[in-house]
């Protein structure tokens, strides 16, 4: 489980090279008391209050003015001190803080220590927002110390200079962040294709209820529709929108705006379902969508119930296009579906999950789930590369 810090530490957050300013951090139960003994403000009392930026100077052991500083208490047990960036200034301030009871610590140690203590709290916070058993179980593991323990043992490896082992464990954690960042925030899965290809029908099928209007008229969906769901315990947000047309071919201004919105969401997608009608086949619209930035792409051949067995020019061209896209790595997978019979639905859901969550996780595995966990991993990876 987590450790409660009993000592108060001081560490330099900025690099030990000459710079305009240096930033020191004092953390621990006696942070305010120690800093208050070591400084005098230009105005007012030396007593600090939360989030108020104060200007003043340090006092040396003879109570004489020393370095000019800016002080801010950012939490009840954390104070930031900004001073001149030369080494002499920060050394003098650290000396005074240590003389008054702080323990000097490297920034890496200090950040790591706090991470361990806060991970359980962060996991507890996120647990209240978790929407599936699977994500709840992963967060429970982190609350019970999976990630904190892994950080601690990586830190020990770093201290023992076992960089190769530390590096491979850091890289493994780094890969798991793609899962960790989606324990609360859903993966965006966007359905796109030309008008009438069957996007809204497939959205309804994937959701299990009739969310979007389905109609034989092309251009039925105009604005974006998005709905939360979960596949195999992973939170998913499905997005349906206007059918894309070739550039400049929108029926009217409203449709053009709808197409722009859909293209924007394609750019933000974690997974794009690119729909192609099994009967009308491959079009320039598909080329347009593929030239756009997008997430992992699954090609979905819709209306398989209407596909004619005999080879037509269209179906031949579609088969050719699909073979080329697969060999170029432009699509991760191809799935055939029918919204009428439900054919291919299970396979499509499994493919979406396989594309979004390629790592297999075991119970108790460490999973970083906040940006700052990733920052810690990347900072350490940079140190050993």
Ligand X SMILES: Nc1nc2c(ncn2[C@@H]2O[C@H](COP(=O)(O)OP(=O)(O)OP(=O)(O)O)[C@@H](O)[C@H]2O)c(=O)[nH]1
**Where does this chain bind ligand X (CB under 6 A)?**
195-201, 214-216, 218-221, 243, 302-303, 305-306, 338-340
Residue number closest to Mg ion, CB atom: 221
Chain centre distance of CA 121: 18
Nearest Cα residue to 330 out of 288, 298, 284: 298
73/52 Cα distance (integer angstroms): 7
**Which among Mg ion, ligand X, none contacts residue 338 (Cβ within 5 to 8 A by kind)?**
ligand X
315/158 Cα distance (integer angstroms): 58
Tokens, residue 237 = 């947000």
**Between 217 and 327, whose beta carbon lies closer to ligand X?**
217
163/169 Cα distance (integer angstroms): 10
Each residue 277-316 as x (binds Mg ion by CB under 5 A) or -, in order, gives ----------------------------------------
37/61 Cα distance (integer angstroms): 10
Please count the residues of the chain.
385
**Between 112 and 344, whose beta carbon lies closer to ligand X?**
344
Looking at the DSSP bridge assignments, the partners of residue 50 are 73
**Between 154 and 289, whose beta carbon lies closer to ligand X?**
289
Structure letter (DSSP) for residue 186: P
Q: How far is the CB of 194 from ligand X (least distance, A)?
A: 7
Residue 144, CA distances (Å) to 51, 120, 247 in order? 32, 7, 53
**Between 201 and 229, whose beta carbon lies closer to ligand X?**
201
**Which among Mg ion, ligand X, none contacts residue 201 (Cβ within 5 to 8 A by kind)?**
ligand X
Q: How far is the CB of 216 from ligand X (least distance, A)?
A: 4
Looking at the DSSP bridge assignments, the partners of residue 70 are 55, 82
Q: How far is the CB of 2 from Mg ion (least distance, A)?
A: 49
**Between 180 and 198, whose beta carbon lies closer to ligand X?**
198
**Between 137 and 290, whose beta carbon lies closer to ligand X?**
290
According to the binding rule CB under 5 A, does residue 221 interact with Mg ion?
yes
Q: How far is the CB of 295 from Mg ion (least distance, A)?
A: 20
Max Cα-Cα span within the chain: 97
According to the binding rule CB under 5 A, does residue 200 interact with Mg ion?
yes
**Which among Mg ion, ligand X, none contacts residue 340 (Cβ within 5 to 8 A by kind)?**
ligand X
Span near Mg ion by CB under 5 A; candidates 21-29, 199-207, 224-232, 319-327: 199-207
Q: How far is the CB of 250 from ligand X (least distance, A)?
A: 12
**Which among ligand X, Mg ion, none contacts residue 247 (Cβ within 5 to 8 A by kind)?**
none
Residue number closest to ligand X, CB atom: 243
**Which among ligand X, Mg ion, none contacts residue 171 (Cβ within 5 to 8 A by kind)?**
none
Residue 312, CA distances (Å) to 282, 307, 325, 340 in order? 13, 10, 20, 23
Q: How far is the CB of 189 from Mg ion (least distance, A)?
A: 15
**Between 77 and 220, whose beta carbon lies closer to ligand X?**
220
Burial 257-296 (b: 16+ CB within 10 A, else e): ebbebbbebbeebbbbbbbbbbbebbbebbebbbeeebbb
**Between 149 and 220, whose beta carbon lies closer to ligand X?**
220
Q: How far is the CB of 285 from Mg ion (least distance, A)?
A: 14
SS3 at position 87: helix
**Between 175 and 342, whose beta carbon lies closer to ligand X?**
342
Q: How far is the CB of 347 from ligand X (least distance, A)?
A: 14
- Phi, psi (degrees; rounded to nearest 5) at 215: -155, 150
Q: How far is the CB of 306 from ligand X (least distance, A)?
A: 5
Contacts of 155 (CB under 8 A, 6+ apart): 108, 109, 112
Span near Mg ion by CB under 5 A; candidates 48-56, 83-91, 185-193, 195-203: 195-203
Is 283:194 a contact under the CB 8 Å cutoff?
Answer: yes
Tokens, residue 13 = 């957050």
**Which among ligand X, Mg ion, none contacts residue 265 (Cβ within 5 to 8 A by kind)?**
none
Pairing of β 9-12 and β 21-27:
antiparallel
Q: Which residues contact Mg ion by CB under 5 A? A: 199-200, 220-221
């Amino acid at each position: 489980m987590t450790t409660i810090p009993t000592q108060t530490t001081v560490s330099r957050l900025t690099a030990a090279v000459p710079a305009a300013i240096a930033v020191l951090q004092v953390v621990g139960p006696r942070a305010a008391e120690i800093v208050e003994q070591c400084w005098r403000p230009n105005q007012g009392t030396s007593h600090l209050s939360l989030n108020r930026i104060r200007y003043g100077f340090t006092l040396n052991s003879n109570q004489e003015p020393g370095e000019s500083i800016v002080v801010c208490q950012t939490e009840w047990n954390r104070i930031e001190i900004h001073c001149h960036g030369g080494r002499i200034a920060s050394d003098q301030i650290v000396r005074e803080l240590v003389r008054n009871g702080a323990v000097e610590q490297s920034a890496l140690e200090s950040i790591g220590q706090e991470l361990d203590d806060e991970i359980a709290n962060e996991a507890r916070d996120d647990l209240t927002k978790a929407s599936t058993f699977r994500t709840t179980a992963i967060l429970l593991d982190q609350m019970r110390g999976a990630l904190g323990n892994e950080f601690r043992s990586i830190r020990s490896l770093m201290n023992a200079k076992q960089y190769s082992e530390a590096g491979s464990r850091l890289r493994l954690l780094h890969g798991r962040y793609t899962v960790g960042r989606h324990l609360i925030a859903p993966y965006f899965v966007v359905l796109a294709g030309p008008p009438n290809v069957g996007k809204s029908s497939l959205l309804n099928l994937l959701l299990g209820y009739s969310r979007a209007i389905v109609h034989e008229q092309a251009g039925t969906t105009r604005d974006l529709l998005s709905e939360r769901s979960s596949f195999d315990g992973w939170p998913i947000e499905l997005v349906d929108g206007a059918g894309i047309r070739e550039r400049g071919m929108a029926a009217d201004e409203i449709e053009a705006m709808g197409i722009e919105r859909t293209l924007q969401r394609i750019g933000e997608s974690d997974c794009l379902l690119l729909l192609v009608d099994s009967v009308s086949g491959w079009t320039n619209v598909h080329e347009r969508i593929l030239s756009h930035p997008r997430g992992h792409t699954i090609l979905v051949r819709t209306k398989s119930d209407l596909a004619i067995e005999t080879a037509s020019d269209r179906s031949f061209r579609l088969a050719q296009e699909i073979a080329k896209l697969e060999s170029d790595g432009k699509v991760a997978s191809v799935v055939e579906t029918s919204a009428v019979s439900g054919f291919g639905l299970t396979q499509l859901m499994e493919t979406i999950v396989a594309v979004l969550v390629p790592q297999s996780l075991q119970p108790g595995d460490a999973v970083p789930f906040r940006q700052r966990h990733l920052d810690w991993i990347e900072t350490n990876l940079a140190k050993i590369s």
